[in-house]
Structure 1
Amino acid sequence: MTATPTAIRTIRVELSANPYPIAIGAGSLAQLGEQIRGQGIKAGTKVLVVTNPVVNEHYGATALQSLSAAGLEASLLVIEAGEDQKTPATVGLIHDAAFERRLERSSLIVALGGGVVGDMAGFAAATWLRGIAVVQVPTTLLAMVDAAIGGKTGVNHPGGKNLIGAFHQPRLVLIDPDTLATLPEREFRAGMAEVIKYGVIGDGALLAELGAAAHRDPASGLASQAAVGPALLQTLLERSAAAKAEVVAADEREGGLRAILNYGHTLGHVVETLCGYGTYLHGEAVALGMRAAGELSLALGLWSQAEHDQQQRLIAAAGLPLAWPALDPEAVLACLQGDKKVRDGKVRFVLPLSPEAGAQTGGAVYGSVIIRDDVEAATIREVLARLA
């Protein structure tokens, strides 16, 4: 990667205990070592870069060169990183490398890749020597706007997604939009699902930007980096990062407000689990989950058909799936009970809410969504039949 670094925009995650920056700038991967040293990391510190084969081919050398130039003792671990590899066994490979490279409590792990790499490397850092530093360097749109920010780390269990994990905030998040140049379009589209999520849950300005792009090209105006363009892409990255930073700073461990970031995820995780990891990309499943959540809101009278249609247009313009898979409704209900957000046996749904609807009985309102744990199984069955 040889791009000349441009000015870096910094957004801070203002946690009370361990605040950290999100640095966004084209070509910034070449400044990785310098950025890490700027966080108080000393010369000679051991750094283990964890990445996957494809990302390593394009960006591994740039990352290592930058780290070495900054006086850091860098080494590389390449792992397979599909969703089906997101297991305790793969995290064990990172632990093995940490042992072999003699990582110390002052050492750090750099996660260079998409959300799967970030989750596993972050979890390995959280659990090695009871916690060492991690730096997130996301190379997919989905990881840039969501997975790399906020400190959620973990792996999947056969019974459900991300059931094994820990909160472990990064020391730094470095976002280089230039790394998206080698991202497959399907992966880019998957990331757009998370961007749309931020618009629906409360960022009206972002929703307007997305709507304008979709209006210009309803079929594919949000479906590729080329269609979005560099100026809008920078805006999407900054607004999404700022939205997540604000929510995480207010609720680091998902005691209340942070749950709104799960919009589309509850039923999206059901799709991933029942269809088999890898059938749908995470963002594709989230898009299906947003459609299903929208239908639930319609059934409960929480938002209008016009608002639901607007969401559907954005999902379509991003080239994301809208056709709900053929899933047994009873299997869906059973899978929902295994969701990590279940409390006292009640499934918590994050549902979009019209401003006109106001506060609804039985739920907590945050911005443009409401959290409900009183959705009846009969209503879920009715919506699943409507989706089929």
Structure 2
Amino acid sequence: MTAPLKNTDPVTVEVALGERAYDIVIGRGVLASLGARVAALRPGARAAIVTDEYVATHWLRKTEASLLDAGIATSRIVVDEGEVSKSWEGIEYVCEQLIAAKVERNDLVIALGGGVVGDLAGFAAAILRRGVDFVQVPTSLLAQVDSSVGGKTGINSPQGKNLVGAFHQPLLVVADTAVLDTLSQRQFRAGYAEVAKYGVLGDEAFFAWLEVNHADILAGGAAREHAIATSCRAKAAIVMRDERENGERALLNLGHTFGHALEAATGFSDRLYHGEGVAIGMVLAAEFSAELGMIAEADAARVKRHLAAAGLPTRLQDIAGFSQERIGADALMELMAQDKKVRRGRLTFILLKALGQAVIVPEVEPLRVREFLARKLAGA
């Protein structure tokens, strides 16, 4: 497979969910069309924009201008950057600000930001006045290919990642690839882990294409929009078949059981970005699959090699400030026990039966997982 020529026309991916169906619009410069698209969907609505301090400096005024040009009155709510905002305090602040702005049930909340803002603003929209519509305007690669699509919203608990939330589908997703130019290399690479995930879990041919083209994606070349659109189509297809994660949608959590535990162990801090945790978690899931005899060790090594080539951490020892005293096997097991896929106290993992074919494996023996983690923590 080769990268297509850069297309100046937006790409639209439909998430066909009946009355809750919506479009994902992908392309360079599509933020300018936000106002017209929103006005067509909700004539007369007002919009409250939720964003963070960093994104606000780059894209808030352009977003407001697009909405105002379409006759849409706006208000703004700016939160702190990072996972610290995905908290009880964060959701209280956003809800109170939305109420103060007199956002009504026929108005809109617009999530302008990365995964944190999308999850936080979407959850606020889900519970405000028992539900108002919201629009996702994702500004990170991770948000454009993953968290803005599918309707999962929520906040973190001190006991774990995303343990409080709701399913609340957006009205529209507008993914302007130009905004990715303002990301740091580390932020962009962290998002790339979610792109690679779609190849690892369900499309070996896409993974092989990524092995060839990842440098062009990272550099902003012709492959970038293609990778984003392919990722969105992959997620949309799964969401359409299993909107509320009663089965197949759990496959999208490949790497996340390990990754979320690592994020919690590092205090949801910039020691480990979400995508970096997913990268390490995918490698652990692939290596654990090999240990269980489900895939060849060469396939697990291939996953690790590609993520490392993309500049992502692939070992526990790659975590900033790592030490076995600070991150231990027992602590990680306790954190994984809070994973949303746990059923009656038994661990469920997303593992691989082949590269490009993930499966749900229920009731994994905890002792075997602990022994595996202990070896990895020791550098084996």
Alignment partner of 2:218 out of 204, 225, 230: 225
**Correspondence for 1:80:** 80
**Correspondence for 1:358:** none
Is it true that 1:297 corresponds to 2:289 in the alignment? Answer: yes
2:288–2:372 contact (8 Å) kept in structure 1 = yes
**Correspondence for 2:49:** 49
What is the number of residues matched between the two proteins? Answer: 362
TM (norm. structure 1) is 0.90
Is it true that 1:309 corresponds to 2:301 in the alignment? Answer: yes
The residue type paired with residue 63 of structure 2 is: A
**Correspondence for 1:352:** 352
The residue type paired with residue 81 of structure 2 is: A
Is it true that 1:100 corresponds to 2:100 in the alignment? Answer: yes
Displaced runs of 4+ in structure 1, greater than 2 A?
Answer: none
**Correspondence for 2:211:** 211
The more displaced of 274-283 and 137-146 is: 274-283
The residue type paired with residue 334 of structure 1 is: E
CA deviations on 1:13-32 (whole Å, 9 max, x unpaired) are: 01133100000010011111
**Correspondence for 1:184:** 184
Output the CA distance in 1 between the equivalents of 2:360 and 2:333. 18
**Correspondence for 2:238:** 247
The residue type paired with residue 28 of structure 1 is: V
**Correspondence for 1:363:** none
CA shift, 1:92, in A, is 1.4
**Correspondence for 1:339:** 339
CA shift, 1:154, in A, is 0.3
Q: Secondary structure of the residue that 2:333 maps to in structure 1?
A: helix
2:14–2:236 contact (8 Å) kept in structure 1 = yes
Output the CA distance in 1 between the equivalents of 2:205 and 2:178. 25
1:82–1:116 contact (8 Å) kept in structure 2 = yes
Is it true that 1:281 corresponds to 2:273 in the alignment? Answer: yes
**Correspondence for 1:29:** 31
2:54–2:81 contact (8 Å) kept in structure 1 = no
TM (norm. structure 2) is 0.92
Output the CA distance in 1 between the equivalents of 2:259 and 2:71. 43
CA shift, 1:91, in A, is 1.4
Is it true that 1:13 corresponds to 2:6 in the alignment? Answer: no
CA deviations on 1:290-333 (whole Å, 9 max, x unpaired) are: 11111110111111112111101111011111121432111121
CA deviations on 1:29-82 (whole Å, 9 max, x unpaired) are: 11110111232x113x11001111111111111100000111111111111131
Q: Secondary structure of the residue that 1:212 maps to in structure 2?
A: helix
2:328–2:374 contact (8 Å) kept in structure 1 = no
Could you say what the CA RMSD is over the residues aligned between the two structures, in angstroms? 1.5
CA shift, 1:6, in A, is 4.1
CA deviations on 1:167-204 (whole Å, 9 max, x unpaired) are: 00000000000000101110001001101110001122
1:193–1:287 contact (8 Å) kept in structure 2 = yes
